């Protein structure tokens, strides 16, 4: 499963390539996404920014030029095998087209989401109410990472093994198996140490 740093780098790359540019074509294999595109076409809209929140990738898209629709955010989650790629128009894709789930084109780039299992469009109200985003723990790569809150949430897990608690995205977001294992090894903390031990265990 991609870890938080992988999603962070993907969001940064997509932001650099796409932010401020107009969508020329949108397609997806997911009916829920194409239905939104049918009702309020993505073509002609501007991608305003792309960001990572833990393991969620959020692509913010401005409103259409014509009245009848507001700004949208495309939320995707990679799960076990999903990934975002960026290509120049006409460049050969590294993965087969049959694995593409979302394709977003601008004049200069083609962004392709391969094997992404979670994808939805959200408006501003829906983003604020989306449960996974609303309850997400402090983001290790976030600009305003709150270390004290992260420790509080970890210790609040009581006797739950610290290895399990660190993978809970509502405790701290962005950690996967690799970083969980490496950090515990470097800090000489046994994976089964109770979470309530917190920093004292290190």
Residues known to be catalytic: 2-3, 55
How far apart are the C-alpha atoms of 169 and 8, rounded to whole Å?
Answer: 15
Contact by Cβ (8 Å): 128, 120:
no
SS3 12: helix
Paired sense of beta strands 100-105 and 47-53, if any: unpaired
Cβ atoms of 83 and 66 closer than 8 Å: no
3-state DSSP helix/strand/coil % of the chain, to nearest 5: 35, 25, 40
Q: Give the number of other Cβ atoms within 10 Å of residue 83's Cβ.
A: 17
**At 104, is the secondary structure helix, strand, or coil?**
strand
Q: Report the alpha-carbon distance of residue 35 to residue 120 in Å, rounded.
A: 11
d(C-alpha 78, C-alpha 10), whole Å:
11
Q: How many residues does the chain have?
A: 202
Q: Can you tell me the distance from the alpha carbon of 20 to that of 69, in angstroms, rounded to the nearest whole number?
A: 19
């Amino acid at each position: 499963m991609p870890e938080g740093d992988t999603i962070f780098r993907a969001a940064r790359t997509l932001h650099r390539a796409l932010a401020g540019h107009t969508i020329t074509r949108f397609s997806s294999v997911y009916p829920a996404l194409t239905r939104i595109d049918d009702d309020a076409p993505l073509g002609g809209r501007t991608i305003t920014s792309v960001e990572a929140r833990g393991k969620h990738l959020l692509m913010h898209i401005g409103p259409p030029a014509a009245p009848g629709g507001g700004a949208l955010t495309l939320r995707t989650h990679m799960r076990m095998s999903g990934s975002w790629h960026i290509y120049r128009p006409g460049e050969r894709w590294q993965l087969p087209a049959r694995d593409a789930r979302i394709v977003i084109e601008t004049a200069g780039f083609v962004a392709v989401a391969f094997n992404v299992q979670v994808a939805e469009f959200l408006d501003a109200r829906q983003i604020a109410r989306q449960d996974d985003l609303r309850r997400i723990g402090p983001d290790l790569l976030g600009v305003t990472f709150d270390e004290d809150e992260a420790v509080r949430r970890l210790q609040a897990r009581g006797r739950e093994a610290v290895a399990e608690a660190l993978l809970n995205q509502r405790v701290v977001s962005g950690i996967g198996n690799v970083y969980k294992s490496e950090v515990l090894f470097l800090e000489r903390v046994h994976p089964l140490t109770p979470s309530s031990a917190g920093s004292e265990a290190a």
